[in-house]
Amino acid sequence: MRPRLLLLSAMLAAAFSPVQAAEPPSHDEARAFLRSLLVASPYRLNANALSGEIRYRLTSSAPQPWQPPQTGEQSIVVDGDGMQLSICADCGNEAPPSADTLTHHLAANAWVRSDDPRIRSFARLHGRGRSVHARMTGLTEAVRKHMNGPIDYRHYDDAVTALEKRSGDCTEFAVLLAAVARARGIPTRIVHGIAYSGRLVDRTHVFSPHAWVQAWDGARWTSYDAGFGQFGAGHIVLAIGDGDPASLRGLNRATRQLRIVDAAQIQRSRETASN
């Protein structure tokens, strides 16, 4: 199965007015929109680098550049003319969420419909295991296998619609995974950003809009990606939300203004890696 990266349909939905949204854009319009959001990679990133730590240097042409969030997997240092991002499984130092925040990320909403009986049934069947990681791994793989229909990147469907249609792009994968995880009592949030792809819409070595899920395991937020199959150092978080595309206003412009000017694979010593 090829990764369901293609187009982040939530960003497409956020880009069109309610009147325009009544009639989905054509495939050519959607393809042009996607191409406008691609961010060139300065280098080809191999599998070894993506599975470890990568340190990026980013700049923006915006007068007030978009500030990416700090997570447990992404650390940020801002300086005069740009920012440095380090991304790996444990590169960040995010503050623990409040009880209210966890409650919010456990509740159902119009997009993450975790209270629907169909979502709960799917979650009970596939979300087994004692640990959060075991349940999330099972749910991620189940969503990945279930969403085997045609790629449709012109719409933005809620979790129940995605479950029934079995098609969509990375956004539908993310809202469905978030919903079934919440149905199993796991707080989840949907992260939006860009992810590395070796080839996309006739361009090579680019970062394209992408969405995936972070689950709270009692100690930290950990990423799970049903579209790609796994999280890696090629995932750059630009925003964190709850599934509502309205929360992404401004992200399209910020993505177009973003430039990745350097990407360095970090080699940790054995002593550091074992600690």
Instruction: Please write the tens of the pLDDT for every residue from 166-203.
Output: 988 889 999 999 999 999 999 999 999 999 987 766 77
Q: Which domains can be identified in the chain, with CATH numbers?
A: 9-16+28-242 (3.10.620.30)
What's the whole-number mean pLDDT along residues 251-255? 89
Q: Is the pLDDT of residue 21 over 60?
A: no
Angle at the Cα of 51 from the Cα atoms of 151 and 59, rounded to 5 degrees:
80
Whole-model pTM over 0.85: yes
Report DSSP state, residue 167: -
Q: How far apart are CA 149 and CA 166, in angstroms?
A: 5
Query: Residue 159 contacts by C-beta under 8 Å, 6 or more apart in sequence?
Result: 111, 112, 113, 114, 116, 119, 175, 176, 178, 179, 180
CA distance 114 to 111: 9
Rounded CA gap, 166 and 150, in Å? 8
β-pair partners for 74: 71, 87
Compute the average pLDDT of residues 215-238: 95
Structure tokens at 58: 């980013």
Determine the pLDDT at residue 198. Answer: 77
Contact 21, 240 (CB under 8 A): no
| Portion of the chain with pLDDT greater than 90, in percent | 64
Question: Residues with Cβ < 8 Å from 78, sequence gap 6 or more?
Answer: 67
